[in-house]
Amino acid sequence: MKILVIGKGGREHALVWKLKQSPRVKQIFCAPGNAGTALEGTNVPIDVNEFDKLIRFVKKEKIDLTVVGPEEPLVNGIVNAFEKEGLRIFGPSKSASRIEGSKVFAKQLMRHADVPTGEFRVFDHPTPAQYYIDSREWPCVVKADGLAAGKGVIVCNDKAEARRAIERIMIKEEFGAKVGRQAVVEKRLEGEELSVLALVGNRTIYLLPPTQDHKAVNDGDIGPNTGGMGAYCPAPRGTPELMKKLEEEVFVRIVHAMKRGRYPFNGVLFAGMMLTNQGPKVLEFNARLGDPETQTLLIRLKSDLLELIEAIVDKRFDTIDPDTIVWDPRPSVCVVLCSGGYPGKYETGKNITGLDEVAKMPDVKVFHAGSKLEGKRIVTDGGRVLAVTALGDTLAAAKKHAYEAISKISFPGMHYRKDIADKALKSPKSSLS
């Protein structure tokens, strides 16, 4: 088979790397890709939203299956465009992708499906939103309705911050005019976060092992939020009892509500959970694999990923026996190496050294994100540059392996968190340390 992966981040490199391991994959392409995907397959210089060019490429190269990584092309309707041309593609439709593309749609759907989430109100004008904020006794989170490259969710400590967030979204339109037409003001939830991803095919749901992401840029969850500074898997907080509860009260309810609404979900459904004192509540849904959660998951997956993806695309996921999906029992830790200044302004084109040395280490894989090839050199080309991912017999060993690998890598301005997985390692309940 010939496969095309769409995207250019660490998630896409992980997908290319894992799909390539299938004995049925003859050739693999990535559009537009990065330095890592170039080493595993062939990069195609087409942007993720250039649907016509992608379709022409798929037809010309006789690609058998396209796998979509990022949310933007999904929300923009890439699956509909491909299926209209009779092409096989993995991912949810445009109408189903609204669960990520519109915060308003997602929150209203959760309310309709009786999925546990924070108290909220939707506004289409800034003045009543600010009145509402003033009337609340609790701290707020303010969310722009549409996609805002991960920056449209503003966690506020007081009413003044929340009012400023409304101003940024709805008056100044910092995230775009369309994105700022509506805003969600919701109660800020306190607790520990958990990323729970599921493969969904029609009405069949298979939960992947629980992971925990680290959004804040600095150790101790300090500083602005990023696209993700690291993750580990499995997260001990995701106990079998909790996962069963989430399957029944979150995934089954939302998937059935979408089926009833005639926009069935097929692909990867990602629930960002907050484990509160009042029980688990959904922060948001995503319509695709997470980054860096994917890296920690795929390094542990022993089964053929292509078989699972094809079963969903071909509407036969219900024939897959979940007991046949095999995972490495060892935990994994992923640490993201960033450009100096990220998530603010940063420079690119910095030379990366040490990758050849790390490639010789067992149970370690460096997934590329913001990198590109310049001749024989690999240089930085984004905010999140590399995702160093390692396995270990224990979570502590996996963390040690990851940071040993990082000690061999360098580029000017490189920064990363040094406390990935510490929440689990320091927890008295952790059985993985």
pLDDT in tens, 280-322: 999 999 999 999 999 999 999 999 999 999 999 999 999 999 9
Element (H, E) at 79: helix 78-84
Determine the average pLDDT of the residues in 32-53. 98
- 119-187 is a CATH 3.30.1490.20 domain: yes
φ, ψ of residue 111 to 5 degrees: the values are -60, -45
| Burial class of residue 161 in the structure, from the number of CB atoms within 10 Å of its CB (0-12 exposed, 13-18 middle, 19+ buried) | middle
Q: How many Å apart are CA 44 and CA 31, to the nearest integer? A: 5
The mean pLDDT value of the chain amounts to: 95
* The CATH number of domain 2-91, selected from 3.40.50.20, 3.30.420.10, 1.20.1090.10, 2.40.30.10: 3.40.50.20
Which residues make up the CATH 3.30.470.20 domain(s) of the chain? 192-426
Query: Which range is least confidently modeled, 42-56, 151-165, 315-329, 407-421?
Result: 151-165
Residue at 96: amino acid letter: A
Contact call for residues 184 and 143 (beta carbons, < 8 A): yes
CA torsion angle 231 233 239 242 (round to 10): 60
Q: For residue 150, what pLDDT is reported?
A: 72
φ, ψ of residue 76 to 5 degrees: the values are -80, -5
Determine the average pLDDT of the residues in 93-119. 97
Specify the DSSP class assigned to residue 351: B
Which residues make up the CATH 3.40.50.20 domain(s) of the chain? 2-91
Q: How many Å apart are CA 146 and CA 180, to the nearest integer? A: 7
| Angle at which helices 126-135 and 159-166 cross, to 10° | 170
Report the DSSP beta bridge partners of residue 212.
232
Q: For residue 151, what pLDDT is reported?
A: 77
Counting residues of the chain whose pLDDT is more than 70, the rounded percentage is 98
* Residue 302 token pair: 């022993």
Q: How many Å apart are CA 375 and CA 372, to the nearest integer? A: 10
Residues 6+ apart with CB under 8 A from 389: 292, 295, 296, 299, 332, 333, 334, 335, 364, 365, 366, 367, 402
* Residue 288 token pair: 């695709």
pLDDT at 338 over 90: yes
The span from the first CA to the last CA of the chain, in angstroms, equals 41
The total of other beta-carbon atoms located within 10 Å of residue 219's CB is 15
Counting residues of the chain whose pLDDT is more than 90, the rounded percentage is 93
pLDDT at 432 over 50: no
pLDDT at 431 over 70: no
Q: How many Å apart are CA 285 and CA 271, to the nearest integer? A: 5
Closest CA to 306 of 259, 323, 298, 335: 298
pLDDT at 429 over 60: no
pLDDT at 225 over 90: no
Determine the average pLDDT of the residues in 54-65. 98
Residues 6+ apart with CB under 8 A from 362: none
Determine the average pLDDT of the residues in 89-108. 97
At residue 148 the predicted structure's pLDDT band, cuts being 50, 70 and 90, is confident
Specify the DSSP class assigned to residue 177: T
Which has the higher per-residue pLDDT, 247 or 431? 247
Q: DSSP labels for 401-423?
A: HHHHHHTT-B-TT-B--S-TTHH
Looking up tokens 């799909």, which residue turns up?
19
Closest CA to 275 of 216, 193, 204, 158: 193
Residue at 167: amino acid letter: E
Element (H, E) at 271: strand 267-276
pLDDT in tens, 195-224: 999 999 978 999 999 999 999 999 999 988
* Residue 187 token pair: 């109660």
- Coil, strand or helix: which one is 301? strand
In CATH, what is the architecture of 192-426? 2-Layer Sandwich (3.30)
Report the DSSP beta bridge partners of residue 336.
387
The total of other beta-carbon atoms located within 10 Å of residue 53's CB is 14
Report the DSSP beta bridge partners of residue 5.
30, 67
What's the whole-model pTM score?
A: 0.96
Element (H, E) at 36: helix 35-40
The total of other beta-carbon atoms located within 10 Å of residue 356's CB is 9
Q: For residue 152, what pLDDT is reported?
A: 86
pLDDT at 398 over 90: yes
Strand-strand pairing, 140-144 and 183-187: antiparallel
Element (H, E) at 39: helix 35-40
Q: How many Å apart are CA 35 and CA 88, to the nearest integer? A: 26
Among the residues of 215-271, which ranges form H helices?
240-246, 253-260
Determine the average pLDDT of the residues in 237-256. 98
At residue 430 the predicted structure's pLDDT band, cuts being 50, 70 and 90, is very low
